[in-house]
Amino acid sequence: MASEGFDRRRFLQSTSLTSAAALAIQSAVQGADANSATPSIVERASPNAPHAFLTKADDFYLVARGEPKPHTLVDQALINARMTPESWRLEITADPYIEPPLITQSATIERSFTLSAGTAIDLPTLQEMGKKHAVKFIKMMQCLNLATPLGQGLWEGVPLRDVLRLCGKIQNVRRIYFWGFHNHDPKQIFKASVTYTQAMETAPGDLPVILAYKLNGEPISPLRGGPVRMIIPWAHGFKNVKWLNHLFITNDPRIPETYYQGNANNDPDGELKSAAYVDKGPENEKHRSGSDLTLSGHVVAGMSGVQRVEYWLRSVSGEARPLDDDAPELLRGPWNRCEILLAPNWATVLPEGTSPGELIGFDSATNQPKTWPLKYGFASWTVTLRDLKPGVYEFRARSVDRNDFAQPEPRPYRKNGNNLIQVRRFEVA
C-alpha cells in the first residue's frame, strides 16, 4: 500500500471555507472558546496524521490466548491445525441438547458440515461464495480490557447469514456460537456468539457479521487470525474470533462465551463505545514555555457516533492524583474543541483496485463516507496548544456522541465497553 496523504480540511468545514473561517464557525457553534482561560485551537502545522488510517496487518497490537499461540505454529503443525489456505475447514453443526422446561426442542438444520463426513467447508468454497456475496468494510479492533485501539483494517468476506443458508432450513435456534483453533486442549478454545437475529439481519447501511478472508486486500495471515476470522462489526475484540473453524447452532442461550469466564466481570453484550483516546507523550514530559505543543489521539465511533472531540487543560500542583470520570471539576471543564482530521485520500490508503464506493458505509455515487468517523472505525484528532505559561498541566480529551452524551456517558461502566477518559501530564518550563 502507498503511504497516506491526509486531507487537511476539517470535518465541519465546507470545502470553500478557509480554516480560519471554519475555526470561527466551530467556536461560535460551541461558544466556549472565547471566554475560556485555556489556549485556543489552531490548525495543526504537521502534514502527517498521527495514526495510519489502515493499520498494517503485522502492526495490530496482538491479543491471543493459549500456549503455544496458534499463529506461532509452522509447517506440518500449521497444516494439522488447518490454518493454511489448503487445510482450512469450517464445520457447522447443530446442538442436540434439550433441557425441559427451558429448552423443549433442540436446534435442527437440514444439512450439517463436518470433518468426519468429509463435508466441512473449505476455503475455495468460501471464496467462490464471495464472488456473489462478499462485502468489504473498515472496522477498528479494540480489546474490552485495553483502552487504546489495537488497529484498524479493511475486512472482506462472506456474511455469516449466507454461510448459514448452506444449512437449509434452521429451526429452534437462539444463538450461533463459533470458535477457533487453539491447539487441541478444549479448555483453550476461544468461543463467542451472536443471536440468530444478529447473524441474519442488518439495518440498512449497517455492517453485517462476516467470515473474513482478506485484510487490507491481502489474505489474512495466521498472526491476524487467518485463513478465516469472524468479524463482528459492533463488538470488541473478543467476539472477533481468530482461526475460525466451527459454527455451532443452538437453542441454548446459556452456553458461556470465553469472555464470561473467569473473574474479569466482562459484559459480552457490550458494544464498541464512542470515545477519544490521548496519545502518550515522553516520560517526564517537559516543554519550553512559548513553544507550540500539538497533542493527538484516536477518536472511535461506537453505535452512537461522534459529534466532536473536546479537550480540557488544567494546571495542577503537587502529586499526580487520578480524577474520577464524574468528578465535578472534570465535568465543569471548560472543554474546548479539537480537530478531527478529515477522511484520508482514499486512493493512497485503500489497496490498489479498491474504490471507496465499494465499501459499506460509503456513498457509491460520491465515493465519500456517509459518516465521519466511520461507524465502528477510528480517525485521528489533534489540537495545538499555544502560549503555555510555565507550570504543570493535565490534558484530557473526550468525545461527544450524536445524542450529546459526553464520554464516558451514557453508561459509565467499563466492563460493558471501555471508554475511560485518559490524561496526559506535562510540564512547561
Ligand X SMILES: Nc1nc2c(c(=O)[nH]1)N[C@H]1C(S)=C(S)[C@@H](COP(=O)(O)O)O[C@H]1N2
Note whether 51 and 391 are within 8 A (CB): no
Note whether 287 and 388 are within 8 A (CB): yes
Instruction: Give the contacts of 289 (CB within 8 A, at least 6 positions apart).
Output: 388, 389, 390, 428, 429
Helix (H, G, I), strand (E, B) or coil at 357: helix
| Binders of Mo ion in range 52-111 (CB under 5 A) | 63
Closest CB 240 distance from Mo ion, rounded Å: 9
Distance (Å, whole) CA 299 – CA 320:
25
Closest CB 150 distance from ligand X, rounded Å: 4
Closest CB 226 distance from ligand X, rounded Å: 10
User: Residue 291: is it exposed, middle or buried by C-beta count within 10 angstroms (0-12/13-18/19+)?
Assistant: exposed
Nearer to Mo ion, 382 or 418 (CB): 418
Contact between 25 and Mo ion by CB under 5 A: the answer reads no
The interface region with ligand X, picked from 61-69, 92-100, 155-163, 287-295 by CB under 6 A, is: 61-69
Could you tell which of ligand X, Mo ion, none binds residue 64, using a CB distance below 5 to 8 A set by kind?
A: ligand X
Closest CB 179 distance from ligand X, rounded Å: 7
**Binding-residue pattern over the window 131 to 170 for ligand X, x denoting contact by CB under 6 A:** ----------x-x------xx-------------------
Distance (Å, whole) CA 295 – CA 280:
9
Contact between 245 and ligand X by CB under 6 A: the answer reads no
Instruction: Give the contacts of 305 (CB within 8 A, at least 6 positions apart).
Output: 274, 371, 375, 401, 402
The residue within the footprint of ligand X, chosen from 4, 50, 61, 345 (CB under 6 A), is: 61
β pairing state of 210-215 and 218-219: antiparallel
Closest CB 374 distance from Mo ion, rounded Å: 21
Which residue's CB atom is positioned nearest to ligand X? 237
Could you tell which of Mo ion, ligand X, none binds residue 61, using a CB distance below 5 to 8 A set by kind?
A: ligand X
Closest CB 243 distance from ligand X, rounded Å: 5
Instruction: Give the contacts of 347 (CB within 8 A, at least 6 positions apart).
Output: none
**Site for Mo ion (CB under 5 A): how many residues?**
4
Contact between 237 and Mo ion by CB under 5 A: the answer reads yes
Nearer to ligand X, 157 or 225 (CB): 225
**Binding-residue pattern over the window 172 to 211 for ligand X, x denoting contact by CB under 6 A:** --------x-x-------x---------------------
Q: H/E element holding 197?
A: helix 196-200
Instruction: Give the contacts of 360 (CB within 8 A, at least 6 positions apart).
Output: 135, 136, 137, 205, 206, 207, 208
166: phi then psi, degrees, rounded to nearest 5: -60, -20
Helix (H, G, I), strand (E, B) or coil at 359: coil
Nearer to Mo ion, 113 or 177 (CB): 177
The residue within the footprint of ligand X, chosen from 120, 199, 241, 275 (CB under 6 A), is: 241
Neighbours of 17 (CB within 10 A): 15
Contact between 237 and ligand X by CB under 6 A: the answer reads yes
Could you tell which of Mo ion, ligand X, none binds residue 241, using a CB distance below 5 to 8 A set by kind?
A: ligand X
The residue within the footprint of ligand X, chosen from 65, 280, 288, 411 (CB under 6 A), is: 65
Contact between 270 and ligand X by CB under 6 A: the answer reads no
Could you tell which of Mo ion, ligand X, none binds residue 342, using a CB distance below 5 to 8 A set by kind?
A: none
Note whether 237 and 150 are within 8 A (CB): yes
3-state DSSP helix/strand/coil % of the chain, to nearest 5: 15, 30, 55
| Binders of Mo ion in range 137-156 (CB under 5 A) | 143
293 Rama class: left (phi>0) / alpha (psi -120 to 50) / beta = beta
**Site for ligand X (CB under 6 A): how many residues?**
21
User: Residue 367: is it exposed, middle or buried by C-beta count within 10 angstroms (0-12/13-18/19+)?
Assistant: middle
β pairing state of 368-369 and 229-231: unpaired
Nearer to Mo ion, 42 or 143 (CB): 143
The residue within the footprint of ligand X, chosen from 6, 11, 53, 60 (CB under 6 A), is: 60
Residues of this chain that bind Mo ion (CB under 5 A): 63, 143, 237-238
Residues of this chain that bind ligand X (CB under 6 A): 60-65, 141, 143, 150-151, 180, 182, 190, 224-225, 237-238, 240-243
